[in-house]
């Protein structure tokens, strides 16, 4: 077992040396690109903060293409293996200092003036991908928090201090390559999982479009105030199907909550939390976000004791309908477009009660619900697997880059 020492990047094995980014024998840093005003100009693809993803993969789907001063570009052209470092940006809960690895060998690419480029000069001593993973570990471990300042809501990285503190552990090149290989494989599994989710979501969206305009029985369509629907379908106001009630806030005194309280993350665990008592504990209820970020979002749940005051729920059902069908139809219909304008997004009971929807026979509702729920199950399953691989990546990155485990000791099972 190695003995460990304290360093600026955390505990490291005693015999590992740390090379700071300011060491010009190994690394070169380049400031970001300004467009400039003097011709000649060149068409260049520019990677910005918005192209940074969670684990340092560049999102090329929305890169900027700009005419820039050729003289400015020549010294700021990106090459395969460069690491782009975010110097200004961040957010309320996101520190500045994210990094991405540039993985293209062709094309004219540069990086924005809110970023800097780190180039590995001595690749016989340092593998660029290993350098990237070391800087990603530095960021994800929270060590840029103390190296930033805030001005008018924007976080700025103290780049001089960053280059002093964000050192790269100097280990043998073969071990660097093995570490990079292991972490790259996990990232590939994450990318594959994300693509499966995206494809399945697109399939569901296309299926919803077909189901809610054509139905299942191949019958002729009719034009209605909500668009084309099958001829046999009814157009009905939501207020004639159910009556909504608004929740209440969570009591200040936690002792007021019942001992057997069952709560759920209404919208994926990030949104509406707070509670109000329900009488129909075992009946499925349709929950609709009424305010803020989750305005118009629908969710079906059962067996809960309390629902937030940020949400509406089906307190009284007036007519039989498939609740999952209704959730999907309202998602397709986009309730958010009916919200009150100005200020914070808001949909009210009155607004929702007056919305008209297409309603097929209950048997057709049930079948459509089954088809869509099977895709929901597939998406949920893939999201679970995705989270597993993300957790695996974080733990592997931390343990490998800190020497807690060595490559020869690793046994990995990738899910995907």
- pLDDT classification of 169: cutoffs 50, 70, 90: very high
Based on the fold, state whether residues 190 and 313 are members of the same structural domain: no
Q: Return the minimum-mean-pLDDT range out of 85-94, 100-109, 122-131, 234-243.
A: 85-94
Residue 410 belongs to a domain with what CATH number? 1.10.287.1120
Residue 203 sits in which domain range?
Answer: 172-221+363-416
Residue carrying structure tokens 């805030």: 150
- pLDDT classification of 271: cutoffs 50, 70, 90: very low
| The pLDDT value given to residue 97 | 96
Based on the fold, state whether residues 187 and 103 are members of the same structural domain: no
| The pLDDT value given to residue 93 | 81
Is there a domain that residue 341 lies in? Answer: yes
Based on the fold, state whether residues 183 and 284 are members of the same structural domain: no
Based on the fold, state whether residues 372 and 342 are members of the same structural domain: no
Interval 199-248: pLDDT, tens: 999 999 999 999 999 999 999 999 999 999 999 999 999 999 999 988 76
Based on the fold, state whether residues 150 and 274 are members of the same structural domain: no
| The pLDDT value given to residue 413 | 57
Cis ω on the peptide bond leading into residue 40 (within 30° of 0)? yes
Q: Contact 160/20 with Cβ under 8 angstroms? A: no
Q: Contact 145/95 with Cβ under 8 angstroms? A: yes
Based on the fold, state whether residues 217 and 317 are members of the same structural domain: no
Based on the fold, state whether residues 84 and 23 are members of the same structural domain: yes
Long-range CB pairs of 372-375, under 8 A, 24+ apart, other chains included? 372/204, 372/207, 372/208, 372/211, 372/324, 372/325, 372/328, 373/324, 375/200, 375/203, 375/204, 375/207
Is there a domain that residue 81 lies in? Answer: yes
Residue 53 belongs to a domain with what CATH number? 3.90.220.20
Based on the fold, state whether residues 158 and 21 are members of the same structural domain: yes
Closest by CA position to 165, among listed 182, 180, 140, 146: 146
Is there a domain that residue 228 lies in? Answer: no
Based on the fold, state whether residues 310 and 181 are members of the same structural domain: no
Mean pLDDT for the chain?
87
Q: Is the dihedral of CA 198, 391, 139, 126 positive or negative?
A: negative
Is there a domain that residue 229 lies in? Answer: no
Is there a domain that residue 239 lies in? Answer: yes
Is there a domain that residue 354 lies in? Answer: yes
Interval 350-401: pLDDT, tens: 989 999 999 999 999 999 999 999 999 999 999 999 999 999 999 999 999 9
Burial of 290 from C-beta contacts in 10 A (0-12 / 13-18 / 19+)? buried
Based on the fold, state whether residues 196 and 255 are members of the same structural domain: no
Three-class SS state of 247: coil
Say if residue 114's pLDDT is above 90: yes
Say whether pTM exceeds 0.85: no
Q: Are strands 227-230 and 221-224 parallel, antiparallel or unpaired?
A: antiparallel
Is there a domain that residue 103 lies in? Answer: yes
Q: Contact 98/139 with Cβ under 8 angstroms? A: yes
Based on the fold, state whether residues 130 and 272 are members of the same structural domain: no
Interval 315-362: pLDDT, tens: 888 999 999 999 999 999 887 676 666 667 788 899 899 999 999 999
Domain count, the chain: 3
Say if residue 146's pLDDT is above 50: yes
Based on the fold, state whether residues 159 and 178 are members of the same structural domain: no
């Amino acid at each position: 077992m190695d003995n460990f020492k304290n360093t600026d990047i955390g505990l490291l094995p005693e015999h590992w040396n740390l090379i700071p980014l300011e060491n010009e024998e190994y690394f070169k840093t380049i400031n970001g690109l300004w467009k400039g005003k003097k011709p000649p100009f060149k068409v260049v693809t520019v990677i910005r903060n918005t192209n940074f993803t969670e684990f340092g993969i560049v999102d090329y789907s929305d890169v900027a293409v700009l005419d820039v001063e050729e003289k400015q570009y020549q010294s700021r052209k990106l090459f395969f293996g460069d690491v782009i470092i975010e110097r200004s940006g961040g957010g309320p809960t996101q520190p500045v200092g994210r990094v991405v690895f540039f993985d293209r060998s062709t094309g004219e690419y540069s990086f924005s003036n809110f970023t800097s480029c780190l180039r590995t000069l001595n690749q016989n001593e340092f593998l660029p991908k290993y350098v990237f993973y070391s800087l990603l570990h530095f960021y994800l471990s929270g060590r840029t928090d103390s190296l930033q300042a805030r001005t008018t809501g924007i976080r700025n990285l103290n780049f001089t201090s960053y280059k002093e503190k964000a050192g790269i552990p100097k280990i043998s090149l073969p071990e660097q390559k093995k570490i990079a290989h292991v972490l790259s494989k996990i990232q590939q599994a994450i990318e594959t999982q994300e693509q499966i989710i995206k494809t399945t979501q697109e399939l569901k969206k296309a299926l919803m479009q077909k189901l809610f305009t054509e139905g299942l029985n191949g019958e002729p369509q009719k034009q209605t105030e909500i668009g084309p629907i099958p001829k046999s379908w009814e157009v009905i106001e939501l207020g004639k199907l159910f009556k909504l009630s608004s929740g209440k806030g969570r009591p200040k005194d936690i002792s007021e909550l019942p001992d057997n309280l069952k709560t759920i993350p209404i919208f994926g665990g990030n949104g509406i939390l707070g509670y109000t008592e329900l009488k129909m504990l075992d009946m499925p209820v349709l929950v609709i976000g009424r305010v803020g970020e989750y305005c118009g979002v629908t969710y079906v749940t059962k067996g809960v004791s309390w629902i937030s005051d940020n949400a509406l729920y089906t307190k009284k059902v007036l007519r039989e309908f498939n609740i999952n069908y209704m959730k999907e139809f309202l998602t397709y219909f986009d309730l958010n477009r009916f919200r009150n304008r100005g200020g914070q997004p808001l949909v009210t009971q009155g607004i929702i009660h007056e919305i008209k929807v297409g309603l097929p026979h209950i048997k057709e509702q049930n079948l459509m619900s089954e088809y869509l729920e099977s895709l929901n199950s597939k998406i949920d399953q893939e999201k679970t697997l995705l989270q597993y691989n993300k957790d695996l990546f974080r733990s592997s990155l931390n343990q490998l880059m800190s020497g807690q485990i060595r490559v020869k000791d690793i046994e990995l099972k990738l899910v995907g």
